Amino acid sequence: MTYPRYTRRSFGVLVAAVALVAACGAPAPAERSTGPGTAPAETPAAMPGDPLPAGTVTGIEQIVRDQMRGGRVPGMAVGVWIPGRGELVQAYGVADLSSGAAFALDDRVRIASITKTFTATAALILVDQGKLRLDDRLESFVPGIPNGPDITVRQLLNMTAGVYDFTVDPEFTTSFDADPLAPFPVDRVLAILRRGPPAFAPGQPGSWQYSDSNYILLGEIIEEAAGEPAGTFIEREIIRKLRLPGTSYPTSPAIPPPASRGYLVAPPGAPERDVTAVNPDVPGPAGAMISTVAGLRAWAGALATGKLLSAASHAEQTAFVNANLSPALRTGYGAGLFEINDFVGHNGAIYGFNTAMFRLPETGATVVVVANRSSNGEGVGLETFLLIARLLYPDRFSS
């Protein structure tokens, strides 16, 4: 299998991995192997529901082994729940290379850009509370951004605002690459955005660009509309109300235990770095949050059904614009949600961790993938999801 080259640095992009299903067929079932080049042995895990058919389990585990092959990632956890067909919830490999501790299903990880699903939902909750309007203009909250008087909250949510992406700016990349614990205050981000050239005019027909800048700006808007930081609002109005296990909006660089370590090898061939600790204020509302396999499963269900939103706001969240990402897949973006061949959710990539969380609303099928080695632009979580989804629903991924 050949893996695509990644050029984007944002906290969890979809762009490069969407071509994977066009290049790779669903894996054939294979015998278990413990020989050289295979993933470490699986961690035993209880499965409270009925198991998936043996052939399906074999196929999924072959996908995982292929993704982990050659040490691409030390550890992964995968959850697949299909009503009426069964489930597979399993951890693989190691969480800590120093101690050799096995990756566990309840290990917390950074979920990177899956945070955007929370930030978007928080904005829509404020709309339902009458504290924010989707047609409000960016200039009213954050003055001085190019095209700010014309950019709406809705356009920030669905990535059609055309705001310059600060994560490709040398001022930011040099700082974050050197030390992910270093402070990079939001005022510095806003200064970059004020001088950065827009990608396109806001709302320009046919134009869409994934940009973390949209969600940094939404964090500022949420803080003004709610009268408190976005993270505080998300903790109270989403995490606590839904009782999402292992889920938090961190205020310090540490991940609460139990947690996996996170690793980085960048550029290729460089010494491996332990980058478990990251300054959460840097990714902020675009990518700071922490969760578990169980937490992401619960959140995927709430998102797909609009559990915390009015019917109108749920319709806004699932009003997908064409993301123009791949001729091989149908891809769209709503308010903090990707749609890929009818699956809805998000993926994430940040130093140390790579994630994907998608649900097929039609059937309730849910797939969650977390892994503990990543840069800001890799896609092992999304690639794994796409291959599993194609294995489970080949008709939806036929060319």
Residue 399: the pLDDT is: 62
Residue 112: the pLDDT is: 97
- Estimate the crossing angle of helix 186-195 against helix 170-178, to 10 degrees: 150
Residue 2: the pLDDT is: 25
Complete edge-to-edge strand list for the sheet that includes strand 75-82? 42-43, 86-93, 75-82, 365-371, 353-360, 343-350, 338-340, 331-333, 321-322
Q: In the chain, what are the domain boundaries? A: 17-116+252-397, 131-231
> Does position 220 have pLDDT exceeding 80, yes or no?
yes
* Higher-scoring residue by pLDDT: 112, 377: 112
C-alpha 258/C-alpha 274 separation (Å) is 17
**How large a percentage of the chain has pLDDT more than 70?**
88
Average pLDDT over residues 122-137: 98
> Does position 115 have pLDDT exceeding 80, yes or no?
yes
Residue 248: the pLDDT is: 98
Residue 19: the pLDDT is: 47
> Does position 29 have pLDDT exceeding 50, yes or no?
no
Average pLDDT over residues 362-378: 94
What is the per-residue pLDDT across 134-177, written as a single tens digit (0 to 9) for each? Answer: 999 999 999 999 999 999 999 999 999 999 999 999 999 999 98
**How large a percentage of the chain has pLDDT more than 90?**
82
What is the per-residue pLDDT across 78-110, written as a single tens digit (0 to 9) for each? Answer: 999 999 999 999 999 999 999 999 999 999 999
> Does position 355 have pLDDT exceeding 50, yes or no?
yes
What is the per-residue pLDDT across 323-343, written as a single tens digit (0 to 9) for each? Answer: 988 888 999 999 999 999 999
Please tell me whether the peptide bond between 198 and the residue prior to it is cis, using omega within 30 degrees of 0.
no
C-alpha 383/C-alpha 17 separation (Å) is 6
Residue 256: the pLDDT is: 97
Domain 17-116+252-397 CATH superfamily: DD-peptidase/beta-lactamase superfamily (3.40.710.10)
> Does position 305 have pLDDT exceeding 70, yes or no?
yes
> Does position 42 have pLDDT exceeding 50, yes or no?
no
The conformation of residue 46, written as its DSSP 8-state character, comes to -
> Does position 49 have pLDDT exceeding 90, yes or no?
no
Residue 266: the pLDDT is: 85
Q: Tell me what the pLDDT averaged over the chain comes to.
A: 89
Question: Does the model's pTM come out above 0.85?
Answer: yes
Residue 5: the pLDDT is: 25
Ranking 4-18, 135-149, 372-386 by mean pLDDT, the lowest is 4-18
Q: How confident is the model at residue 312 (pLDDT cuts 50, 70, 90)?
A: very high
User: Quick one: which of 93, 88, 50 has its CA closest to 73?
Assistant: 93
> Does position 247 have pLDDT exceeding 90, yes or no?
yes
Instruction: Check: CB of residue 289 under 8 Å from CB of residue 336.
Output: no
* Higher-scoring residue by pLDDT: 71, 54: 54
C-alpha 61/C-alpha 78 separation (Å) is 9
Residue 37: the pLDDT is: 33
